[in-house]
Amino acid sequence: MFHRVRNGVAAFAVLAAIAVGAAAIAGAASNSGTTGSQGSSGSAAPRSAPNPSSPGPGETLLTDGNATKARQAALAKVPGATVLRVETDAQGSPYEAHLQKSDGSQVTVKFNKQFEATDVQSGFGPGHP
């Protein structure tokens, strides 16, 4: 009798470990990056948005005084928005900022080397899913 109980507990433990592992893999695969947002108001991006704290392909997050300049210029161009991230731009401009407007839509503001806004694009721009 004890042998059957022990085997049943062992089988249950193995199945539970498999279930936990599968859930972890599924969670990692569906992670849309709703945590860790960088923004002036601290609100998280919608679940369908790309990871707001990850730079795009070939781009680097700005972290120095350039980050401050880019944030200020972006908010001047799109008042009331939340800055999700500021980074170098791999598609032609030296810098860009990704913002979420108060209506939930996202825009990308492109800047020249003097941090003057040169374009505002809907969404996160090319290269982002």
Going residue by residue through the chain, which has 129 residues, state the pLDDT in tens, using 9 for 90 and above: 656 666 665 665 555 556 545 555 545 444 444 333 344 444 444 434 455 556 666 678 888 899 999 999 999 999 999 999 999 888 888 999 999 999 999 999 999 999 999 999 998 765 544
CA distance linking residue 8 with residue 127, whole number of Å: 51
- Rounded CA gap, 69 and 63, in Å? 11
63, 76, 56, 64: which is closest to 129 by C-alpha? 56
Q: What sign for the dihedral angle of Cα 58, 127, 105, 117?
A: positive
Query: What kind of fold does domain 36-124 have according to CATH?
Result: SHC Adaptor Protein (3.30.505)
Model pLDDT, residue 114: 94
Q: Is the pTM of this model over 0.75?
A: no
